[in-house]
Amino acid sequence: MTLKATKTWFLRLLPVVLFFICYYCSQFYFESSGGKSPHPTLALCPNYRLQKKWENLNLNMSRKPELFLKLEDFFWKDHLSAEALPYGIKGSELLLLKVLAAISSFTMPANIESLDCRTCAVIGNGFALKNSSLGEIINKYDVVIRLNDAPVRGFEEDVGNKTTLRLFYPESASYNPGIHNDPDTLLVLVPFKQQDLRWLKEILYDEKRVQKGFWKPPPQIWLGRASQIRVLDPYFLRITARKFLQIPVQPRKQQKAVHPTTGLLAVFVALNYCDVVHVAGFGYPASRNQNQPIHYYGQQTMKSMKNSYHDLNQEAQILHRLEEQGVILYLHPHS
Ligand SMILES: *[C@@H]1O[C@H](CO)[C@@H](O)[C@H](O)[C@H]1NC(C)=O
Ligand SMILES: *[C@@H]1O[C@H](CO)[C@@H](O)[C@H](O)[C@H]1NC(C)=O
Ligand SMILES: *[C@@H]1O[C@H](CO)[C@@H](O)[C@H](O)[C@H]1NC(C)=O
């Protein structure tokens, strides 16, 4: 071969060779980083970065990645909040101080906080998860958010077994969070009313429990560890209510109070914190069939939702809009 022909061949082969080198390097990089599993959904990140889509939602506010109330918040400002719970902390400051003093940790885990791109899965409790076999996929997200007392043990195949954040309130707390959570799951209290903070304070300080003011008796003994407890900033419920559900500041008399579901709230929290938000287990069966189960566990049917403090139709429309705008992505087909 002449020198020129060799050169031509070399130039033709070069991209192929480079491609393989890059490919093997990246494989090696992934295998060596983080031990067992590479960052599995990293490939999604450049395309799914939320910032642009967030701007398209026209909420006229920036994202707020600090999710939890902090003790320091109380020392520099006289009035943090013009509203009472569930949308602000007015009137609950002292209760909160006591609670926060006992939990003393107010951040997300450092290994998630430091990620360049955070992938999140918000797992609703919906019947759609049944037989979905999504468990393995759900476990791959950096942050898995679960709601209330949704079980994991016995349902791993469909819902996975990883839980980074669990949003709950006293009535939806399970007595031993160790059963359906990981040791490092953050148990995030969503305070809807003062009693919710009082419940946590009484448990943290082992004071006499006051049982009044709950729509369902909360656990009197609760085994959540103080280091794992967080209190969600009421900001998130307030903005979910005002900007998504258009719930007025002063609801008219006679009108039943409507609050966002923990599910919609969790989606909004994820939109603030994550770069990728995927959801599963959202949605209710068409309300014609009152006997249709609504959760992937247990026997609850549509009937039990009749008197809830939620506007399920409106929430479904909002999720639909977010999906259409590419802000969230469902992990399963849905109606
Ligand atoms: C956006 O927010 C700013 C201040 O927070 C306010 O002055 C302005 O009127 C808002 N714009 C719209 C379109 O809501
Ligand atoms: C789920 O799978 C089980 C076992 O294969 C089956 O009996 C059940 O009907 C399925 N349920 C749904 C909702 O698909
Ligand atoms: C989840 O299940 C896998 C496989 O069974 C297991 O290796 C892992 O330790 C479990 N993780 C948690 C947090 O339970």
Nearest CA to ligand 3 atom 6: 161
Strand order in the sheet with 119-123: 229-231, 186-189, 165-168, 143-147, 119-123, 276-280, 329-330
Q: Which residue has the higher pLDDT, 164 or 253?
A: 164
CA 186 to ligand 2 center in whole angstroms:
32
CA 132 to ligand 2 center in whole angstroms:
10
**Six token digits for residue 334:** 């849905």
**What mean pLDDT is predicted for residues 10-14?**
60
CA 108 to ligand 2 center in whole angstroms:
37
Whole-number average pLDDT of the chain: 86
Q: Which residue has the higher pLDDT, 252 or 157?
A: 157
Nearest CA to ligand 3 atom 8: 161
- Which residue ranges form the domains of the chain, and what is each CATH number? 50-248+255-330 (3.90.1480.20)
CA 131 to ligand 2 center in whole angstroms:
6
Task: Tell me the per-residue pLDDT of 167-210, one tens digit each, with 9 for 90 and over.
Answer: 999 999 999 999 999 999 999 999 999 999 999 999 999 999 99
Whole-model pTM?
0.85
Task: Tell me the per-residue pLDDT of 214-230, one tens digit each, with 9 for 90 and over.
Answer: 999 999 999 999 999 99
Phi and psi angles of residue 147, each rounded to the nearest 5 degrees, phi first: -125, 135
Nearest CA to ligand 2 atom 2: 131
Contacts of 169 (CB under 8 A, 6+ apart): 148, 189, 190, 191, 192, 196, 262
Task: Tell me the per-residue pLDDT of 272-313, one tens digit each, with 9 for 90 and over.
Answer: 999 999 999 998 876 667 888 999 999 888 877 776 778 888
Share of the chain above pLDDT 90, in %: 65
Confidence of residue 25 (pLDDT cuts 50, 70, 90): very low
Instruction: Report whether residue 178 contacts ligand 3, using a CB cutoff of 6 Å.
Output: no
Phi and psi angles of residue 241, each rounded to the nearest 5 degrees, phi first: -70, -45
- By the 10 Å C-beta count (0-12 exposed, 13-18 middle, 19+ buried), 24 is classed as exposed
Cα gap 166→61, rounded to integer Å: 26
